[in-house]
Amino acid sequence: MNSSDYIAVARRRLALGDSGLIRGFTIDLPLFLIVLSLCAISLVALHSASDGDSGVLRRQGIAVMIGALAMLAVAQLDLRLLRRSVSYAWLGGVALLGLVLMIGVEANGARSWLDLPGLPSFQPSELMKFIVPLALAKYLAFQPLPPRFVQLLGCAALVLIPAGLIVLQNDMGTAILIFMAGLFVLLLAGMSLRLVTAGGLLVLLASPLWYVFFALEHQKRRILSFIDPYTDPTGAGYNIIQSQIAIGSGGIQGKGHGAGDQSRLDFIPESSTDFIFAVIAEEFGLAGALALIALYLLLLARGLQIAIGASSVFGRLLAGGIVLTVFFNAYVNLAMVVGLMPVIGLPLPLVSRGGTAIIACCIGLGLLMSVRASANRPSRR
């Protein structure tokens, strides 16, 4: 290549949002900046939610750094190598979920943590949020599309086995998210909307039976508190009531960093994890809340742009599935905090406290960068 060829390649990469101008190293700059912005918001919000606890901030900062490095490392992976490793990742993830059921540590009512000697505790289910769409993308990339009934049975096994193990851990929120991650990939692969509608109606019709015969007591309380949180204002409805008070008191501009009464006086339960958005809305108001939502919309737009520009079916399904999963996670958390959905215990991606969640999310977004980098190496599947 002569100098003019290198200039042409650089211009093409910049036009596509790819700043990987160092030979052999690629990074999607728009996506990277969005991730860093969300992580910065996380540290600012955690400073208030934890009342300036240096230990919490230090652990979150370390998780952000590890996540950023992991994202950049995964971005360098060739999709062909990644595709060959998918089966091992899925089997390893399922094995870890089974291990959690045997020796896992319980926290907040869910037995979903592994605390192995010599290793920091971590949550294998967070990794499965991205391993499942990865496995489905590989499986469907070599099948006739749209998927037929036989292929759907194979996809169901890839999704329902890990989701079922997570349900046994009493972590219904993550299980629902993994199910939705699989559904997103199937929709992108062309699965009939009629089939999805029929399945949704079936679930809707079966939900009363689930509520009466299978729902646990705390799940029933959450559903009732969603309908009317003031039926149990000091119990199941307390979280939503305090969250709505915090969000409403923030007004347009907010009370200022560290000046939120609800968060500073610990009225908001789980203010550093599931309900961190209430802290942001109280201290930075509607303006801060809209800025956060705008970042997630930009993340969705950039991810879908990468999916559309992918050079293979595998890359397209993988990128679309991952970005829709992350955005759906954010949507559910925001809807939960403002009272539009029942509380199901999903953290806000890249913002809530939690090392495993941040690192896993960064790895998933690193896969997006890998899809973007591989667009210059066309492949049929």
Residue 43 placed within a domain? yes
Would you say 81 and 374 are in contact if contact means Cβ atoms under 8 Å apart? no
Q: Is the pLDDT of residue 42 over 80?
A: yes
Parent domain of 89: 27-374
Report the domain count for the chain.
1
Residue 223 placed within a domain? yes
Weakest-pLDDT range from 97-101, 109-113, 169-173: 109-113
How far is it, in rounded angstroms, from Cα 187 to Cα 174? 20
Q: Is the pLDDT of residue 223 over 60?
A: yes
Residue 230 placed within a domain? yes
Q: Is the pLDDT of residue 106 over 90?
A: no
Interval 271-291 mean pLDDT: 94
Residue 8 placed within a domain? no
Weakest-pLDDT range from 71-80, 221-230, 366-375: 221-230
Q: Is the pLDDT of residue 259 over 90?
A: no
Residue 123 placed within a domain? yes
Q: What pLDDT is recorded for position 335?
A: 95
Q: Is the pLDDT of residue 282 over 70?
A: yes
- Going by the DSSP 8-state scheme, the letter that residue 122 receives in this structure is B
How does residue 24 score in pLDDT terms, banded at 50, 70 and 90? Answer: low
How does residue 13 score in pLDDT terms, banded at 50, 70 and 90? Answer: very low
Residue whose C-alpha is closest to residue 291's, from 45, 112, 37, 27: 37
Residue 302 placed within a domain? yes
What rounded mean pLDDT belongs to the chain?
A: 87
Residue 369 placed within a domain? yes
Q: What pLDDT is recorded for position 334?
A: 96
How does residue 377 score in pLDDT terms, banded at 50, 70 and 90? Answer: low
Residue 202 placed within a domain? yes
Q: What pLDDT is recorded for position 4?
A: 53
105-107 and 110-113 strand pairing: antiparallel
Cα dihedral 314→318→319→324 (10° resolution): 140
